[in-house]
Amino acid sequence: MANIKYNIPENVYQGRQEHNRLFRKARNSAMNNVFSKYGIPKNMGNKEIKRRVKYHNWFARKAIFYHRTFVDRNNKYIEFLMNDKVFNENKRKSLVILSLELNNGAVMAVRSPVVVSYLLKLVNLFQGTANKPAGFFVTRYFTRQLKSFGKFREDAAMIAMLKKRINFLRKLRREYFLTLTIRNLNRLMDDMFPIPPHPKGNTAAKTIQKRARGMINRTTVKKMKTVAGRVSLTGKR
Spell out the per-residue pLDDT of the chain, length 237, in tens: 333 444 567 777 788 888 889 988 998 899 899 999 999 998 899 888 989 988 998 998 888 887 766 555 678 899 999 998 999 999 899 899 888 877 778 888 999 999 988 988 887 776 644 444 555 566 667 888 888 888 899 999 999 999 999 998 888 777 655 557 777 888 888 899 999 998 876 544 455 455 555 655 555 555 555 555 555 545 554
What are the distances in angstroms from CA 166 to CA 2, 83, 92, 199, 201? 38, 28, 20, 22, 25
Query: Are residues 99 and 105 in contact, defined by beta-carbon separation less than 8 angstroms?
Result: yes
Query: Are residues 97 and 104 in contact, defined by beta-carbon separation less than 8 angstroms?
Result: no
For the chain, which residues make up each domain, given as ranges? 1-40, 114-200
Could you give the residue ranges of the DSSP H alpha helices within 85-202? 89-102, 113-125, 134-141, 156-175, 182-192
pTM over 0.85: no
Q: Look at residue 145 in the predicted model and tell me its pLDDT.
A: 82
CA distance 137 to 128: 10
